[in-house]
Structure 1
Amino acid sequence: MRLKYFIFFIVLSFITYLALNFIVKDSKDKFLEQTTLNYEKAYNSVLSQYKDLSEVIFTGLLRFTRVDEKLLDIQSKNIEERNSIRKELYLQTISRFNSLEKKHIISINYILPDNTIFLKMLDPLDYGMELSSKRETINFVLKNKIPTYSYEIGRYGSGYRFAYPIIKNDTFLGIISLTFSERAITSSLMNQYEVFSNFIIYNKDFDKEFLNYTNTYQRAHFDNFLHRKEVLEDLKEYSQKNINQIKPSEDISKVLYERGEKKEASSIFIDEKDSIVTIIPIHHLLTKEYLGFISLISKGNTINLINSNHYTILTLLIILYFSLTLLFLQQRIKILKDKSLNEEMLKKDQQLLEQAKMAQMGEMIGNIAHQWRQPLSAISTVASGIKLNYEYGILNQDDISKNMDIIVENTKYLSKTIDTFRDFIKEKRVEKEVLIQEKIEESLKIVQSSLENNHIKLIKEIDYNNPVLIHMISEELSQVIINIINNAKDAIIINQIKEGWIKISQYSNEKECYIYIEDNAGGIEESLISKIFDPYFTTKHQSQGTGLGLYMSKIIIEKHLHGKIVVSNIKDGALFKIIIPLKKEIK
């Protein structure tokens, strides 16, 4: 018998473990998907900020330098006049160019319609060179005469290039090209979203000799990839750690680099670093060519919380299963060892008790569901509200604090509910001094939410001024009260009673304690009252009742508590009277 219960416990625990693992994996996958979407939006938001900034810079350069007027009749100028215009344009631009260094702008170029450089701010003496055909943004503007932008990689550099046509009197005069370093994006992401951000550049278009002597780039620990050194310095400063302390292991990095080469962004939880890494692949906006990827490292607190909750729930359920298993096993052994009964009655009582306990467990699970429904709904509503406010950009710190308090309070309520039901289930079957009023309250806590969810009013008239102590097995009285109240609740629901109510009263004198439970469910047919406490007799449908609840209640009251339980009809329903003697010691 012990082996059978042990096997049942192991199988049930294993099934629960598999089910929870599936739920947890699904929850983590959905959270990682949402994290990816959030950081994609963050990247696009930062990129949009620099697009707006580039438009402001372009407009300011046009207004301040009058470059459109300078280039309008440049074809008619000789070399000396052109050089004079170039020098004037350089002097008008240089102060603005230097002031934009903190915005991580790395080049401003003025380009003529023949795709040659008229003025390069980084090297004003390097002019007249025809630009490479790889500069797709420049080629696009030359062809279409409209602005565009993209991340681009050339032989001697890389960055986010914004190209604007210079047009005067419907005449296309050239292009102003503005280029921002990768540092512009990574530093903005780190400052605005509190993440560690790195930019990994695909180096296939770089000049190989240039990479050997440049101080701008550093080779990554995977072939064909580069880092911009300034980005690594920012990352180190922001993290206040050695870069190796936050860098994933080589095996994890390999997975991240492989993901970076894909077209879709994704996130992965790194347990060893307690963090989430989000990979956003970077492609040329015009050619769709793969150019590298951005990695974002954020805290993995939510994933840890999901894991922690998983272990907590699994532990609680296993404790619950183990307690139920021990409870059933103890009840079974007690019945088997009861030598006062003959073999036939012993076997019958074992079967009845097993069925009653299984039915009670089903009712207990239903009561737990009723208790949890409202707080779970509140938590879901708060979480959805936070997400919606975040997506619309209206989330503020006060709302977060307030909503977190709501979630914490509801979580405490769920935990308290678990304690209440666990204490009821784990109650040891030993005799002890029990306060009747307290035991009634504990029983009502278990069924109260079920009554409220079915719009049934619970009326209490408990005499707290005269505490009653009885030596008894405490859980048995709760079982009787819960059985009777659940039967009354079911009758109210089945008979579709509007404004249904259940009333429980308690009072006592020197000799006896009285507990009355009445309802307005319509009463019991007179022909059935005499059979109501018989085993296997039920007025419910076969699938809804076993007919053991009231039978076991009668056994508990009369044989264990040496009292009486009777039922009668009143005006609108039924009345159960429980009478427990106070003078005689209960055994």
Structure 2
Amino acid sequence: MKIKLILISLTIIAIAYINLNYIKNQKIEEYLQRETEQYQMMYDVQYRQYKIKSQIIYDTIINKKQVVDIYKQIQAASKEKRAKLRKELYEITNYDYKQLEYTQLQQMHFHLPSNESFLRVHMVKKFGDNLTNIRATVAYTNKTHKKIDGLETGRSYSGYRFLFPINDENKNHLGSIEISFSVLAFTTEFIEQHKVLSNFHIKKENVDSKTWGNYKEKHYVKSPINGFYIEKNVLNKLTKYSSKNFDKIKTSKKLSSQLLNSLYKNKAISIYDKRTKIIKTFLPILHPISKKVIAILSIASDGGFVEDKIQNFYISFIIISLFVIALFSFIYREFKNQEQNTQLLQQNIKQQEIMQQQSKMASMGEMIGAIAHQWRQPLNEIGTGIQNLKYDYKDGNLNDEEFVKNFIDENKKTIKFMSKTIDDFRGFFRVDKKKKDFNIKQTTQSVIDMQSAQLKTHNITINITGDEFIYNGLQSEFQQVILNLINNAKDALVENNIENPTINIILDKNIISVQDNAGGIPKEIINRIFEPYFTTKEQGKGTGMGLYMSKMIIEDNMGAILSVKNKNNGAIFTIELNNI
């Protein structure tokens, strides 16, 4: 029997480890996916802003009669005439170019229909080179007479380039204009707007094949990601924050492998780096024509949420393991005592009594299986309380003797509440679950009493009104739902810093309403609050399971209805019982 109990306990602990690890990894994966989507959206928004800027510059500075008239003369002009036209075009546009430097404008580059560079306003002495094999976007615009935009590596730098065709009043194509913004400008704006570290990694083969002479050594340095470069001016910007910060966005060989596998699929990815405890998000930037990855935007953000989940996993696993060991040690001692008592029984004990003893041991084995399923939610509540100690410590509450005493008393009541529900564990997920009559108002009041000290800590007033009535069901599960609804209201009141925070519980015939004045639930999420793992609370302060479990208990186990709506500047959760 001892070996059997040890094997069973080890099996339960192993199952708990696998389940907890799966839940941890699932939550981390979901969080990382949200991080990826969030930064992709931020990138897209900023890119659209640059696109709008370039369109405004084109409409107000480039697409005007003076520029078009110069372009009309270029095609038939001699070399000397072209030089004069170039100077004239420079004089027309240079003032505006200088005035627009505050917008982080990097280049205004005019091209001929043959893709020959006619005028670089930012570098007036460099012209005449053919860009056909260097700048695919220039060739595209001159061939299709359509505008195009995207990141592209040029003769000296990489940048976000917005190409527009230049046409006369008869729609005859005369050439093209490029308006571009530097990678440095984009990176700097991204860092300052979103308070993260970021960098661009430009594909090595593009830099090697396109840049002028010594411009590669002058403007680029090798990236920590194999096969990519970083612009030196961006690197200098990052190191101004400190070399330690730049170290955060360096990528290990293992992470580089994950990254490259994702990039082969043109897929953005967020990876948690255990070494630095940083979340690193990588957004692939595609060439506007080839649609191949030509650069990566890397973003380093705080990994506190992931670190908390890992710590919570180990804490939860230790608690469950200790509980299982204690439980099976108790069962083993009980078994040994029973075995010793059995040996002292008289030889004339009836066979029926022996069979009853065997039935008792079999029932004990069934109870063990039920406990393994049913204790997950109460243990999660205790684990959440333990997790919040870190925040209470930061808030200085652990120096408050009354707070500590209340914390201990509340957890004792929770443990007592858990102990009380052991009798109901055996049938929680079974159809042969036994129900009993209980008083709704008294049961609700018992939950309020258990939470009263914590509510007083946050100056929250809670009222219960209405008549008493009897309901036939599972009392401990109903208590768990009321506890979840009160805690949900309390958290909303505290988070929104509501003056005169109040929770009202109203009993009206077969309807129980829990209402707060916390401002209500945003319309865009009110239909999702009963989904598993959905939470609006800060990282580490919510599991997203409380309301989901409450709805399951009310609707699946009690055959009632749990709903929510906004009313009177607050949220109101309603339980409709249908078998009073």
Q: TM-score w.r.t. structure 2 length?
A: 0.61
* CA drift at 1:99: 3.9
Map 1:330-409 to 2 at 5 A: 330-338=333-341, 342=345, 344=349, 350-351=357-358, 353-355=360-362, 357=364
Q: Distance in 1 between matches of 2:137 and 2:184?
A: 20
CA distance 1:239–1:261, shift in 2 (3 Å): farther
What one-letter code is carried by the residue in structure 2 that aligns with 1:137? Answer: T
What is the DSSP-based 3-state SS (H/G/I as helix, E as strand, rest coil) of the residue aligned with 1:47?
A: helix
Q: Which moved more, 1:306-315 or 1:215-224?
A: 215-224
- Give the aligned partner of residue 157 of structure 1: 157
CA distance 1:171–1:374, shift in 2 (3 Å): farther
8 Å contact from structure 2 (residues 196, 299) kept in 1: yes
* CA drift at 1:11: 1.8
8 Å contact from structure 1 (residues 13, 321) kept in 2: yes
* CA drift at 1:190: 1.8
What one-letter code is carried by the residue in structure 1 that aligns with 2:205? Answer: K
- Give the aligned partner of residue 42 of structure 2: 42
Q: Distance in 2 between matches of 1:227 and 1:258?
A: 20
What is the DSSP-based 3-state SS (H/G/I as helix, E as strand, rest coil) of the residue aligned with 1:133?
A: coil
Q: Distance in 2 between matches of 1:203 and 1:444?
A: 64
Asked whether 1:271 is paired with 2:277, we answer no
What one-letter code is carried by the residue in structure 2 that aligns with 1:186? Answer: T
C-alpha deviations, 1:401-450, integer Å up to 9, x for none?
Answer: xxxxxxxxxxxxx9999865645778xxxxxxxxxxxxxxx679989xx9
* CA drift at 1:230: 1.4
List runs of 5+ in structure 2 lacking aligned partners: 384-406, 447-470, 476-508, 511-580
Q: Distance in 2 between matches of 1:316 and 1:416?
A: 19
CA distance 1:416–1:85, shift in 2 (3 Å): farther
- Give the aligned partner of residue 51 of structure 1: 51
- Give the aligned partner of residue 299 of structure 1: 302
8 Å contact from structure 2 (residues 149, 161) kept in 1: yes
8 Å contact from structure 1 (residues 262, 281) kept in 2: no
8 Å contact from structure 2 (residues 255, 271) kept in 1: no
CA distance 1:420–1:4, shift in 2 (3 Å): farther
8 Å contact from structure 1 (residues 371, 417) kept in 2: no
C-alpha deviations, 1:526-549, integer Å up to 9, x for none?
Answer: xxxxxxxxxxxxxxxxxxxxxxxx
Asked whether 1:241 is paired with 2:244, we answer yes
What is the DSSP-based 3-state SS (H/G/I as helix, E as strand, rest coil) of the residue aligned with 2:19?
A: helix
- Report how many aligned residue pairs link the two structures: 417
CA distance 1:6–1:148, shift in 2 (3 Å): same
CA distance 1:339–1:71, shift in 2 (3 Å): closer
Asked whether 1:219 is paired with 2:237, we answer no
- Give the aligned partner of residue 178 of structure 2: 177
Q: Distance in 2 between matches of 1:49 and 1:122?
A: 22
CA distance 1:56–1:268, shift in 2 (3 Å): same
Asked whether 1:193 is paired with 2:230, we answer no
Q: Distance in 2 between matches of 1:64 and 1:455?
A: 85
CA distance 1:366–1:460, shift in 2 (3 Å): farther
8 Å contact from structure 2 (residues 161, 179) kept in 1: yes
Asked whether 1:143 is paired with 2:143, we answer yes
* Backbone CA RMSD of aligned residues: 4.5
Map 1:508-587 to 2 at 5 A: none
Asked whether 1:228 is paired with 2:222, we answer no
Q: Distance in 1 between matches of 2:46 and 2:441?
A: 61
Map 1:411-450 to 2 at 5 A: 420=413, 422-423=415-416
Q: Distance in 1 between matches of 2:223 and 2:231?
A: 10
CA distance 1:143–1:178, shift in 2 (3 Å): same
Larger radius of gyration: 1
What is the DSSP-based 3-state SS (H/G/I as helix, E as strand, rest coil) of the residue aligned with 2:205?
A: coil
- Give the aligned partner of residue 323 of structure 1: 326
- Give the aligned partner of residue 92 of structure 1: 92
List runs of 5+ in structure 1 lacking aligned partners: 377-413, 427-441, 465-486, 492-498, 501-587
What one-letter code is carried by the residue in structure 2 that aligns with 1:14? Answer: A
8 Å contact from structure 1 (residues 113, 174) kept in 2: yes
Q: TM-score w.r.t. structure 1 length?
A: 0.60
What one-letter code is carried by the residue in structure 1 that aligns with 2:17? Answer: Y
